[in-house]
Amino acid sequence: LVFRNEGKSFCLYERDTSYLAYFDMTDEYKMTKCSLNGSVTGGFDDFVSFAVMQLSLSPNGKYLCAATDASRNIIIEVGTENIIRDLYGHKNDGFSQPRVAWSSSGQYVFGNTQEGNYICVWDVASSAIVEKLDAHTGQIRDMYSSKFSDTLVTSSYDKTCKVWLNKI
């Protein structure tokens, strides 16, 4: 779940569905569904081979990054079925806790992987991992970034929390 429009609406993913649901709290919670299959299938395919485990809103509010349990993070234009980028190069499955966060500029997306205890840094423009940051001695279980500063906070199963300042 992620709030948007200064808290006037929110978006969520319901497990075992093929869409994101947007709710407008200023219009009697009107719901709009947007397919996670993009516009490629013409809206006729209700199957997806993944579950969205976390949503993160870009600093400018125009994009969502969906962390999935299928080694794929998806950048979607908010309120549409337009898939902007697919981010690969990490591993997450149904037993992991995929997490993502945006840099304050929106140029990078940070994410975890179950393969190691590091942070993957994707360049959004190229969809490439540009850096892997050694982070913890245990799996990363959560991360959050500030849209106001270049601050990323990670927590881990190693029982530590780290604050990353101006790393990217």
Q: What is the pLDDT of residues 18-64, one digit of tens each?
A: 999 999 999 999 999 999 987 665 555 677 889 999 999 999 999 99
The whole-number pLDDT of residue 160 equals 97
The whole-number pLDDT of residue 10 equals 97
Q: What is the pLDDT of residues 55-106, one digit of tens each?
A: 999 999 999 999 999 999 999 999 999 999 999 999 999 889 999 999 999 9
SS3 content of the chain, % helix, strand, coil (to 5): 0, 45, 50
Query: How far apart are the C-alpha atoms of 118 and 128, rounded to whole Å?
Result: 16
The whole-number pLDDT of residue 16 equals 87
What does pTM read for this prediction?
Answer: 0.92
**Residue of 27, 39, 45, 110 lying closest to 77 (CA atoms):** 39
Q: Which residue has the higher pLDDT, 167 or 68?
A: 68
Tell me whether residue 152 is exposed, middle or buried, using C-beta atoms within 10 angstroms of its C-beta: 0 to 12, 13 to 18, 19 or more: buried
The whole-number pLDDT of residue 44 equals 58
Q: In what order do the strands lie in the sheet with 128-134?
A: 100-102, 108-111, 118-123, 128-134
SS3 30: strand
